[in-house]
Amino acid sequence: MKRVLLIILLSLFTTTAFAQSKVTNNLLVGISDATWGNNDAPVTILIYSDLQCPFCKKGAQTIDKVANRYGNDVRFVFRHFPLAFHKEAEPAARAVIAAQRQGKFKEMHDLIYQNIKQLKLNANNIETYLTTQAVMLGLDETKFLIDYRSRTASLKVKSDIKSGTALGVRGTPQFFVNGVRISGAQPINKFESVIDAQLSAAKSLKGMTSQQKYKKMIVTNYQKPQPRPQNNPIPNPKEKKTEVEYISIDEGDPIWGSDKALVTIIEFSEFQCPFCARVQPRLKKLKKKYGKKLRIVYKQNPLPFHKEAPQAAQAFLAASSQGNFSKMKDLLYEKQRDLKQAKDIDALMMSLAKKARLNLGKFKKAYHSKKIEDHIAMNMDQAQKAGARGTPTFFVNGVKLVGAKPYEAFVSVVEQQLATAEKIKKREKLSGNKLYRAIVNENEKNNPPKPKPVPSINSESMKALKKLKGPFWKGKKRAKVVVHMISDFQCPYCKRAAKTMDTIYDEYKKEVKFVFVNYYLPFHKDARIAHLAAIAAGRQGKFWEMHDKIFNANQREISQDLLDGFAKEIGLKMKRYHRDRVSKKTKKQLDREMEIAKEAGVRGTPNFNINGEKLVGAQPPEKFREILDRHLKKKK
């Protein structure tokens, strides 16, 4: 018995020692690692960083401050840890390794961080861009390219990722100060407290070389990271916390599969969202696994900060109107990067339609049609009502799944829904959309009670908006409830919101004052001239007529000629209009409204402020009614 116990203890000791030795090896400095500072320094900072990560850039700036503060007392070791969603980080890492071969690691490292945004902007010609940077630093171009393309550089990056993963590196930047972990772009005082403690500890280790001290200290200091929190557990529709929502299937929605399917997945997504692209292979895998038992309904929910997403959605639906959306969907995701960089988005869509072998005449007609624009608006309203604020968001027989979930998460919910569907089909003899509705009704029984909305009143934003002098308004002059509508004439979401506000105005004009605040986003290059034209029209008492003309037009075709044409159509005195639209007074008013909107916390459009209660985005009419009724009730 004693012998068995001894063997077990020895085994445990050997396993622990092996695991500890593995950790020690990963923290030790390798021959190929980039280092700077004093090699005999009592403190070593091991850095895991991603050259496309803005937090890593901030961390690098802090490291430079540490170097200046501690001088020869600290040595720095750099390892590459490019994150999967930073597509240009791995090529940048190889460029730094190639520069290191010519003795200019730090120079290339610093240059890339100084111009970090250029990596994404030069994604399509990243090698050329990085080579240009290398030449700027005086590197030999031929040698740089050989090293940049070498297997050795790729293996070094993989080796660094492997060692970082073994040490529990999950994100970047991450630092190990003599083995003490510091996660994220922390302020310098965080480093100072750890370094000062390590300097003191190093002094107490007598009769040892700096390398021996470092090895001993990393064994003492290293601690495993805390287990990753389970932020996205696989949902179980039988649990009380499951959110369930019925989403109607409408004419014009692209559908894969048959209405006889037992499980319906509604997908709210958009074509500029990287997470939407990432989840597509998992959906294809589901199609293969479940076949006729599954159908997928595609709903469009282009997000405000992806300005090319609405056109991509229009192209997808235009392809669907010819009964051939699968190829177009794949092409749009495949060319996702091209959307942002396209000089002519319509020309890009036509080229994709050609590749998808669509009838180009029919495609062009459908792509620009009001019917498709209205369909997208309807999908977006459905997304808002269902609480699908981001993309992708899925409803599996009504059960809500948010984000690019792993394949296993989908399988778990689909399996549960198949069982539920079989029972209801057998019990109620239903099929098609009636069966889908009945399954969602069954799942809704497990819905948690919806909390009542708690209004968030911001008195500071109201104080800022009250500074507006001479704004354009309509409704009740001395109303106790005021809606400030902060809007951009070239924003497609503002166009949708304008239609909603027409409905709301008709219902509340006798009780509420509606104030328009001119505010345009910098990337809408023709918006400023539209706002100046509207203010000029307002000087002749016809702001709202110009407002309606601009929002009813094709926003991609706004020009001075178009605006001048509108001025004539609404009966403005043209000499005065031309004088007013370029006057200092008009420009000053626009700039002042922009300034006040920013002071009120506006960062995007459309943005609404109802007696201090903020509402962002193209919300459905019900949302405005709910808030207005609440405020009107308070004031009575």
Contacts of 577 (CB under 8 A, 6+ apart): 533, 536, 537, 540, 564, 567
DSSP string, 129-157: HHHHHHHHTT--HHHHHHHHTSHHHHHHH
pLDDT above 70 coverage of the chain, percent:
91
Please give the structure tokens belonging to residue 526: 């023709």
405 SS3 class: coil
Residue 173: cis peptide before it, omega within 30 degrees of 0 = yes
| Predicted pLDDT of residue 9 | 43
The mean pLDDT value for 617-624 works out to 85
Report d(CA 333, CA 331) in Å as an integer.
5
> Does residue 392 have a cis bond before it (omega within 30 degrees)?
yes
pLDDT of residue 341: 82
Which range is least confidently modeled, 22-26, 328-332, 346-350, 496-500? 22-26
Q: Higher model confidence: residue 143 or residue 122?
A: 143
- Helix pair 210-221, 188-203: axis angle to 10 deg: 120
56, 216, 296, 401, 532 from 287: Cα distances, Å: 40, 55, 9, 17, 52
The end-to-end CA distance of the chain, in Å, is 86
- 153, 209 Cβ separation under 8 angstroms: no
Question: pLDDT band at 612, cuts 50/70/90?
Answer: confident
Residue-wise pLDDT tens digits, 75-128: 999 999 999 889 999 999 999 999 999 999 999 999 999 999 899 888 888 998
Say if strands 34-37 and 74-80 run parallel, antiparallel, or are unpaired: antiparallel
From CA 416, how far away is CA 430, in angstroms rounded?
18
pLDDT at 465: 82
Q: Answer left, alpha or beta for residue 163, where phi above 0 means left and psi between -120 and 50 means alpha.
A: alpha
Average pLDDT, the chain: 88
Q: What is the 3-state secondary structure (H, E, C) of 62-126?
A: HHHHHHHHHHHHEEEEEEECCCCCCCCHHHHHHHHHHHHHCCCHHHHHHHHHHCCHHHHHCHHHH
Decide if 597 contacts 480 (C-beta within 8 A): no
Is the pLDDT at 353 greater than 50, yes or no?
yes
Mean pLDDT of the 299-308 span: 85
Distance, CA of 548 to chain centre = 32
Integer CA distances (angstroms), 622 to 452, 464, 504, in order? 15, 27, 9
What tokens does 71 get? 């001088």
- pLDDT at 230 (0 to 100): 43
Which residues are within 8 A (CB) of 388 and not within 5 positions of it... i.e. 6 or more apart?
Answer: 268, 301, 382, 402
Residue 189: alpha-carbon gap to chain centroid:
31
The SS3 assignment for 401 reads strand
φ/ψ of 212, rounded to 5, equals: -65, -40
Question: 178: alpha, beta or left, given left = phi > 0 and alpha = psi -120 to 50?
Answer: left
Given this model, what pLDDT does residue 10 score?
Answer: 44
Q: What is the pLDDT of residue 315?
A: 94
pLDDT tens, residue by residue, 151-167: 999 999 999 999 999 99
pLDDT of residue 457: 64
- Stretch 414-431: mean pLDDT: 92
The pLDDT, as a whole number, for residue 453 is 59
Domains of the chain by start residue, with CATH: 27-221 (3.40.30.10), 255-444 (3.40.30.10), 459-635 (3.40.30.10)
> For the chain, how big is the Rg over CA atoms in Å?
30
Mean per-residue pLDDT, 53-57 = 94
Query: Is residue 170 predicted with pLDDT exceeding 90?
Result: no
Is the pLDDT score of 472 beyond 90? yes
452 pLDDT band (50/70/90 cuts)? low
Give the position of tokens 């962002």. 616
Position 19 scores a pLDDT of: 45
414 close to 290: Cβ distance less than 8 angstroms: yes
pLDDT tens digit sequence for 186-200: 999 999 999 999 999
Window from 391-395, 505-509, 580-584, 604-608 with minimum mean pLDDT: 604-608
Q: 2 is written with which tokens?
A: 């004693």
Name the range with the highest mean pLDDT among 376-390, 438-452, 528-542.
528-542
The structure tokens listed for 75 are 């040595």
Per-residue pLDDT at 386: 85
**Confidence tier at 18 by pLDDT (50, 70, 90):** very low
Q: Where does the pLDDT of residue 240 fall: very low under 50, low under 70, confident under 90, or very high at 90 and above?
A: very low
pLDDT surpasses 70 at 522: yes
Cβ(246)–Cβ(444) under 8 Å?
yes
Instruction: pLDDT band for 564, please (50, 70, 90 cuts).
Output: very high
| pLDDT value of position 85 | 85
Q: What is the pLDDT of residue 567?
A: 95
pLDDT band per the 50, 70, 90 thresholds, residue 554:
confident
Mean local confidence (pLDDT), 255-268: 94
Strands 294-300 and 393-396: unpaired
Q: Given a cut of 50, is residue 136 above it in pLDDT?
A: yes
Least confident of 136-150, 356-370, 439-453: 439-453
Asked if 483 and 465 count as a contact pair (C-beta separation under 8 A), the reply is no
DSSP secondary structure, 433-497, as one string: HHHHHHHHHHHHTTPPPPPPP---B-HHHHHHHTT--S-EEEE-TT-SEEEEEEE-TT-HHHHHH
Confidence of residue 378 (pLDDT cuts 50, 70, 90): confident
Q: Residue 609 phi/psi, 5° resolution?
A: -130, 115
pLDDT for 233 equals 43
pLDDT interval class at 512 (50, 70, 90): very high
Q: Which residues does residue 34 pair with via DSSP β-bridges, in sequence order?
A: 78
Sign of the torsion angle spanned by Cα atoms 464, 469, 475, 478: positive
Is the pLDDT reported for residue 236 higher than 90?
A: no
Residue with tokens 């696994």: 289
For residue 368, the cross-strand partners are none
pTM score of the predicted model: 0.53
Confidence of residue 8 (pLDDT cuts 50, 70, 90): very low
For tokens 């104030």, name the residue: 515
